[in-house]
């Protein structure tokens, strides 16, 4: 089983540029073409939040247009730039999305069970997991002990980029960690939000963050560093389930790169 993860697309309306200069729509179109061309092709795609820039209907319509070209199912969760009702309204045929309340759900019937978590606090940059959301997760984890992947937008840990650490999951992280520790079948916790590829051991499992399909956060680990963005290569994460070894995660850069010249 091959699970692709795209994140932090920040789409504007069709024909609009982010901040007047970043063609996030074009970047996502190239990411979709990249995923469709992979061999083996991913079985599903997880889109881990900040799907659009301002939660506007026109932006979600543009997102729907671009994602409709995917050759495989896509599962959506909101990030801090999204709005739940607008997202629901743009994808009424995505029956896994709850009709009201938090956008949390499971994806069943595959070698790895997928559990979506909604960390959104609307109109705020940071994320939270309240008792309602965590009670729901606790019940889902108690249902079975098969291999499980949790996907969410805000990471529940610091990454060393000070300004982004101030916008991570700021409530519910300790209880989430305790739940994950009690369930060693949680193979991976995958996140977005940071616009960089990052991995760490967390709560007895492996946590990872996917890069943006467009612009990346500058890697600046100095205390007090200003937040800035760079046009580093966009990428997608590929999580491959391998019986006997578990999930193996790869970073796949989106773009055309020359093969090295053969020597001799």
DSSP 37-105: H-SSPPSEEEEES--BSS--HHHHHHHHHHHTT-SS-EEEE--TT--HHHHHHH-TT-TTS-SSS---E
Give the whole-number percent of the chain exceeding pLDDT 90. Answer: 94
Interval 80-135: pLDDT, tens: 999 999 999 999 999 999 999 999 999 999 999 999 999 999 889 899 999 999 99
Q: Is the pLDDT of residue 49 over 90?
A: yes
- Residue 181 included in any domain: yes
96: Cα within 13 Å, side-chain hemisphere? 15
- Residue 262 included in any domain: no
Inter-CA distances, 259 with 31, 41, 239, 256, 262, Å: 20, 21, 24, 10, 9
The strand ranges marked E within 152-224 are 169-171, 186-191, 198-202, 205-209, 216-217
Residue 141: domain span = 2-253
pLDDT band at 216 (very low <50, low <70, confident <90, very high): very high
- Residue 121 included in any domain: yes
What number is the average pLDDT over the span 125-153? 97
CATH of the domain at 124: 3.60.21.10
Interval 1-41: pLDDT, tens: 999 999 999 999 999 999 999 999 999 999 999 999 999 99
Residue 32's H or E segment, with its range, is: helix 24-37
- Number of domains within the chain: 1
Residue 106's H or E segment, with its range, is: strand 105-107
What number is the average pLDDT over the span 55-83? 98
User: Across the chain, what does the average pLDDT equal?
Assistant: 96
Report the interhelical angle of 173-182 vs 131-143 (nearest 10°): 10
- Residue 204 included in any domain: yes
Q: What are phi and psi of 228, to 5 degrees?
A: -150, 165
Q: Which residue has the tokens 């995660």?
A: 249
């Amino acid at each position: 089983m091959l699970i692709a993860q795209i994140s932090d697309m920040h789409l504007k309306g069709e024909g609009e540029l982010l901040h007047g200069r970043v063609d996030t729509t074009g970047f996502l179109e190239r990411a979709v073409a990249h995923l469709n061309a992979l061999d083996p092709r991913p079985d599903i795609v997880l889109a881990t939040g900040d799907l659009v820039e301002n939660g506007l209907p026109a932006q979600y319509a543009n997102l729907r247009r671009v994602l409709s070209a995917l050759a495989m199912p896509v599962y959506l969760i909101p990030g801090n730039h999204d709005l739940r009702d607008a997202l629901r309204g743009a994808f009424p045929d995505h029956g896994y999305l709850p009709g009201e309340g938090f956008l949390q759900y499971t994806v069943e019937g595959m070698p790895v069970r997928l559990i979506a978590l909604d960390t959104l606090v609307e109109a705020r940059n940071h994320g939270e997991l309240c008792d309602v959301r965590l009670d729901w997760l606790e019940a889902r984890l108690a249902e079975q002990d098969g291999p499980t992947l949790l996907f969410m937008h805000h990471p529940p840990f610091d990454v060393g980029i000070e300004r982004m650490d101030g916008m991570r999951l700021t409530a519910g992280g300790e209880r989430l960690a305790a739940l994950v520790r009690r369930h060693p079948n949680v193979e991976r916790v995958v996140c977005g939000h940071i616009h960089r590829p990052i991995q760490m051991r967390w709560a007895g499992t492996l946590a990872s963050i996917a890069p943006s399909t467009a612009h990346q956060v500058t890697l600046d680990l100095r205390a007090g560093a200003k937040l800035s963005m760079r046009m580093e290569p966009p990428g997608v994460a590929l999580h491959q389930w391998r019986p006997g070894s578990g999930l193996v995660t790869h970073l796949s850069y989106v773009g055309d790169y020359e093969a090295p010249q053969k020597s001799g």
